[in-house]
Structures are given as structure tokens and as C-alpha cells.
Amino acid sequence: MVSVIAMANLFLGVIDENNFDAQQYLEKRKTYQVTIKRDIWGVPHIEGKKDSDTAFGFAVAQAEDHYPIIEDSMRFYRGVQSASSGYESVPLDYLVHLLNIRSQVDRQYDQVLSEDVKRVLNGFADGLNYWAAKNPEKVDQKTYPITAKDLVASFSLQHLLFYGIQKPITELFDEQRKHSLSMDSNETAWQLTEERPLPVGSNAFAISPSRSADGSTRILINSHQPLTGPVAWYEAHLKSDEGWHVMGGAFPGSPVITVGANEHVAWGATVNKPDLVDIYVLEINPDNENQYRLDNEWLNFEVKQAAIRVKIIGNFYWTVTQDLFYSEHGPVIKQDHGVYAIRYAGHGEIRQVEQWFDMSKSTSLASWEKAMDRLAISSFNFVAADAAGNIGFFHNSQSPIRKEGFDWKGYLPGNRSDLIWNEYLPFADLPQVVNPNSGFLLSTNQSPFHVTAPEDNVKRSDYSETFGFPTRMTNRATRGLELFSALELITADDFKKIKFDNSYSPNSRAINYLSDLFDVEYPVDSLYQQPLELLKNWDLATDVDNTAANLGVCTISEEWISEQSGQSPPAVQGEFEKCVDILLEKHGRVDVAWGETNRLIRGSVNEALNGGPDVLRAIYGRGLEDDGYLTASGGDGLFIFVSWDGQGKQSIESIHQFGSATVEESSPHYADQLPLFIDEKLKETYFDTESLQSNIKSEYVP
């Protein structure tokens, strides 16, 4: 986005210190009635009289554990990160300003959010500001006060980023146009090229009493995220006298639990990435560069201006001013190769936090679905289960109802108003499978048409191609469906073994790619002959003692990345030889045990662990080409097993990759869960009052 700077006006100035009234928030503390209980793992259990009291305590607990992450996140969501981190953050700030989220929040906040949710938001914001007021030496006071509207804006932007809005926008800043222009179906189009993303994924699966060996209902909540940073999971337990009682995972700065369970319902989320963004090529008036054609009219762009402060050194900054343009379609970006308008799902939507809150208060799968019917959350697949034995898979997305006859994967003509969509497919009409006869559901970022036994799946043919539902199959999907289908009745141990399975399916896309290598013939004395034999005998597992996994995982990794990018994978022989060369250079041999390279590192702790990319025991590492090691950076983090037995008794177990102290290295909870995580063991969550009381390590009123 260098052109953003090139077009900007620059002004030199001095940053004004923010006037944070700390005393105001110290006084506000008196209006909240809340207690924080830390269990033996340091996990916070917050108990308040009202929902807003609990939210206040939740904020304090989060600030205690990761206030620097919250501060940095707030700067990002406000579009002011450049004032702290300098020039490199200008493109991010520009994107936030272009999407105009804060104006949408300001305009709608009083009208569309319930008073209950506003009280929760205000309570959480007050809690963050109270902690900052009590700890002025620790915080960056220019970030405070944090407001309820900041929190709402953070949800709106975060949800857009999860389905990948940044990718098509970023492509517009390349030197050449990236996508074809979609014309009528009989016209010619240009070829599509895309950047390659890093591997990502999530798991959620459930079984009903009919498939369970002991009549229990079970669900795994296993969303994969980076292991550190603003979207790494944080575990908490919230309870109020107004009926808010939920435990699970939240991101730093979130006032609500987003994946987890209450007494009645549990739910997990997986990224689905349907096609929710459309780019239009605008026709510009040759006599007026600030007009575009729509049907038979020249219309004026709406023009706003963004002023972005950029830190230089100390308190000195540049102010970068940039014109922002908007058409009837949405935000506009002007480039040498064209002028483009962006239309995206979630534009103007600010009710995400209210939907998450209502989901956490649901009392059955049916009431949970009622909360989902709001369709305020732009994307994510969900798997949910309730105490009555109901299970469901839901492909949730704000899927635009688009005009037939166009290839919506390409760029669209911007001069036709009939291509500007204004409606979404209702939630009830999206792909869903509830209480399948098979008794199991599995969501692992795959097509929503392959989530259970074939006879119970929704048919792809029932939906228009214009909705852009994903069609991919991951190894986790192929392998998981095979494992579930092979078991007539599933025990508790079976259920956990499936989650911790670390193998690739021989029927997976990645292994089909790898098998093409086995037709290659090398001379007997070739450097690659013995490594090829090693790979031919690989059992497709990624356990720590496996001596073929390094070579196998390395060879197939580019296939995975290419698939996510919509590109053809590179030739497998070239990838294989490259990986042999890397292993020989870094380790002197290719038969390196997987545990020697696949490492989980936290402070001074450095441990080998099972699992790898796109296996159900999902571990995504980086660094093999740099230092010869794959340091885990994403994948399995916090995950939760929830069950209800035949009598309705609930059990909840969880594990976090590190511990509740996500920032403070001196804390005993900085890495205390890591040994259990490595050993594939779980801990109790102390969700019920009796078990919590006997496992409290500290209790205090903030």
C-alpha cells in the first residue's frame, strides 16, 4: 500500500498526551459487585451480582493477565497503531479508516444494541479503565479510556478479517490487476493469480446419544488460532445472578465468551471462508475523475478524509492525510490499473457482540439457533450440542443473494446497479445438519456438504454457485470422517483418540499429491534414492519418534499452501528434493525423528510434541529452513471437551497450550499447562460450584 503514502499530505507535529481521568474510574469501581476467584491453574472464575458486574471483573482479570495485548489491539481497532509503531502500520490504519467502522458504530449504537448488552459493554470498559487507573506505571495512558464503542468496533473489524476481507483489498495494491472481469457467461476472462497464505484450521465435532457407547452427548471445541497475540485463546468462567453462566475461550479484550459451554449448550466454531467479498471495476467519467457511471448516470463519489498520525521519534509524528472514496457499492480504491469498489458481507453490521452474548445465555439447541438467526456474525461454521442430546452443524455466513449468470469469483462490472446485492440468504436456509441419523458431526474447515455420513449430508446441488460456499476437503475432514465411520459405537476414549489422531489419510489430497513422487526413479547412488525409500515406507503419522515425518510433512506443505491460494501445487519432485537438501543441511541426515524438530517453546521450556499441519492433532510450526526446527506457532491451543451423560450430568475438561498468564513470564501460570498439553492430557475446569470451592488458589474483590 505504498501508494497510500505517496498520495498523502504530511504534517509535522507533537503528539498530545491523552487526558485520562483516572479518578473517575476509581470511583466507578464502587458501583460494581464482583469477586474474582483464581483456581489452581490461575484460570479466572468471575462471579458478579449483575451481568455488568461480571463483565467488569472479566475485564480486570484480563488486564491482569494480558493488558499489553489489549492495548495494542485497541490501537489497531481504532486505526491509530501508526502513532505508536510508526510507518509500517500505516497500511493497517488506512484499511481501518477505509472500512469506516467507527462511524457505523457511532451511528447505530444507541438504536440496534439492547440495553442489557450495553450494560455489559460499559461494565467491561469500566473494568479495563479501572485497572489502568490503578496501575498507571504499567499502562500506556494514551490508549485510555477504552469505551463500549471501541469494543463494538473491535468485533466488527475482527469478523471481517476472519473471513479474509484484507486479501482481495490488498491485491488491489499490486502493480497489475489480479482477477478477471466477469462478463456475461459467454465472454472471455483473464486468468486468476493469488498470494499464498499460511496454513490455518479448526476442529469441532460432536456425537449424539445414539452413537455414544454410554448414551452420552459429547462435543469437542477446538478452534485453531495463533498460540500468542491478539487472537490467541484465553480461558475464563463467567457467572452472574442474572443467569449468565458460561465458560470457554475469548480473545484478549472480548467482554464475552465466544466458544464454550453453559449448563445447557456447548458450541465450537471453525473458519469457513465462503465468498463474501466482491470487487467492481468502475467506469470513470473522462471529464471528472471523481465521478463513476452507474447504469446511465454519472454519480459523484462520497469523499471523506483520514488523518493518520505516524510516530517518528519520541513525541514527534507525521500526520498523513488521505482522501477516502465511496460509491454505491462501498469503499473505493484508485489505482493506475483501475478504479475499484468493494462490497462485502458485514458492512454496517455492529451486533456481533450481542449475538455472542445471547448464544452464551441459550438454554437449548433451539434457543441457541434463535440467537444465530440474527445473522450478525459474518462467517464461521458452528457445531453445537445440548443437554437433551441434540447436535447440529451450521454453516453460518452472510451469503449475498447475487444475480445469476456472472462469475462472482472474478471482478464485476461496476456500471450495473443490478449487480449490487442487498440481501443475505437467511440463516435457516444456509447448509445445516441437525440430529443426523449417523449420530456424528465433524467440522474441520471443509465443505459444508461433507460433515457426516453421506446419506445425512446437505446436497451441494440444492444451492446456487453464486453463494460461493467452500468446496475444499482437508485431511482432517477426510481422516475424521473415516475414523468416525469405522466405529459403530463411540466411547469417551474413542472420542478423545480421534481428536489426538496425528495421521494423514491415505485418501487425502495431500497424500495423493505425495504419491505422484513414487513413480520417480533415481540412480542407485543418487542423493535422493534412500530418502525416497524412507518416504515410501512412511506410515503417514506425525508422532515424535517418527523418522519419516519430517521429510513427508515438508514435501506436502507447499501443496497445502497452494490449495488455500487457489493455485496449482508445485511439482512434487522439486519439493521433495528441496526438503532433502534442507534436512541434510540442517541436520546432516533425513531420517530425523519428528520430535527433534517439532517443538513447543515457552520461555525456558522446549518440548517435542506429536502432531503436524492439517492432522487432527493440529500443530503448525515455522522455521525449518531457518534453524532446522519447526517451532509451533498455531493450531491446537485451548480446547474443551464437554459431555452430558444419560442422566444429564455435565462434565467439562480443557487444556491450554501454555497457561492463564499469557504475558507475564514470572507467573507460575505462564507455562504450567504445557506438560499436560504435550502429554495429550486434560484438566478439570471447575465449572460447578462444588468442585471450584475446593480448588480455589486465590479470591479477591478487584
**Predicted confidence (pLDDT) per residue in 131-185, tens digit:** 999 999 999 999 999 999 999 999 999 999 999 998 898 888 887 776 656 544 3
What is the CATH class of 2-187+277-344? mainly alpha
Q: In whole angstroms, give the CA distance from residue 40 to residue 37.
A: 10
Using CA atoms, how far residue 571 sits from 446, 537, 568, 575, 578, in Å, is 24, 21, 9, 7, 11
User: Hey, what's the cell of 457?
Assistant: 449430508
Complete edge-to-edge strand list for the sheet that includes strand 259-261: 432-434, 391-395, 381-386, 265-270, 259-261, 245-250, 234-240, 44-48, 34-39, 696-700
Residue 184 in marked binding region: no
Q: Does domain 509-635 have CATH number 3.40.50.300?
A: no
pLDDT in tens, 282-333: 999 999 999 999 999 999 999 999 999 999 888 888 898 999 999 999 999 9
Residue 277 in marked binding region: yes
Instruction: Show me where the domains of the chain are located.
Output: 2-187+277-344, 202-229+248-276+352-499, 509-635
How large is the greatest C-alpha to C-alpha distance in the chain, in angstroms?
80
Q: Residue 7: its pLDDT value, please?
A: 41
Q: Residue 195: its pLDDT value, please?
A: 35
The hierarchical CATH code for the domain 202-229+248-276+352-499 is: 3.60.20.10
Q: Residue 314: its pLDDT value, please?
A: 81
Is 2-187+277-344's fold the same as 202-229+248-276+352-499's?
no
Residue 456 in marked binding region: yes
Q: Residue 676: its pLDDT value, please?
A: 99
Q: HSE-up of 467 (CA within 13 Å, CB side)?
A: 23
Q: In whole angstroms, give the CA distance from residue 349 to residue 343.
A: 13
For 231-247, b where at least 16 C-beta lie within 10 A, e where not — what string?
A: bbbbbbbbbbebebbbb
Q: Residue 194: its pLDDT value, please?
A: 35
Sequence letter at residue 447: S
Residues in the chain, pLDDT under 50 = 1-8, 10, 183-199
- Residues sharing a CB contact under 8 Å with residue 575, sequence separation 6 or more, in sequence order: 554, 555, 556, 557, 558, 559
Active site residues: 202
Q: Is 381 helix (H, G, I), strand (E, B) or coil?
A: strand
Residue 663 in marked binding region: no
Using CA atoms, how far residue 27 sits from 21, 125, 139, 140, in Å, is 11, 14, 19, 20
Q: For residue 261, which phi and psi values (nearest 5 degrees)?
A: -155, 150
Residue with cell 479495563: 128
| Prediction pTM value | 0.94
Q: Residue 551: its pLDDT value, please?
A: 98
